[in-house]
Chains A and B, each alone.
Chain A
């Protein structure tokens, strides 16, 4: 039963600390998305990768957030330094894109999310 996994599932940290969230996409998927969900803003797209290359990270605060795919089986989202307003649930999703120009127009499989609380 292939699924997207995310670690940690919960993270509580103090303001100013570095936070790293990890995502393992479904084997064979070539696209990875990072989303953030808050009560106020709902779901937001932060960044996405295709074939490990970042395609769009315009939704991500550049000064403190960074996203990488060290290899095809791991995507990371890092916040440094973290702030209370970063408290949210961060979802990773993966998919298989066969037509490169329509990366977003395909089915995505979501991970369980990482609930981040920054105090």
Chain B
């Protein structure tokens, strides 16, 4: 069993829809990263959070340490949001636990 589980694995949405991607983890972590990998392969770090909520433009990331769960929300989704979204937990021992990714397709 993977230490970090993401759901759904694949997601198709209509432009404008509100999107939620979930990340649950079974190991102790000190921070959680959300990464975005574009169809061309490039990776962008979206958020790094250890508690609460962060917002950047139309993207919102939340984490609940007690429940070992994080969510990434996209408001007013756009075709350019189509990408693979990966969550990764890290601990103070600098170990990484990667999710398998959620492939998002936003249709115009």
Contact = CB atoms under 8 A, between A and B. Distances in A.
A and B are partners in one complex rather than unrelated chains: yes
B48 A107 contact: yes
Nearest to B101: A42
Contacts, number: 56
Nearest to B98: A43
B98 A110 contact: no
A110 B30 CA distance: 21
B94 to A, nearest CB: 4
Nearest to A115: B41
A14 B105 CA distance: 36
A110 B42 contact: yes
4 closest A-B pairs (Cβ-Cβ)? A105-B31, A104-B90, A110-B43, A104-B94
Interface of A: 42-45, 48, 55-56, 89, 91, 93, 101-110, 112-113, 115
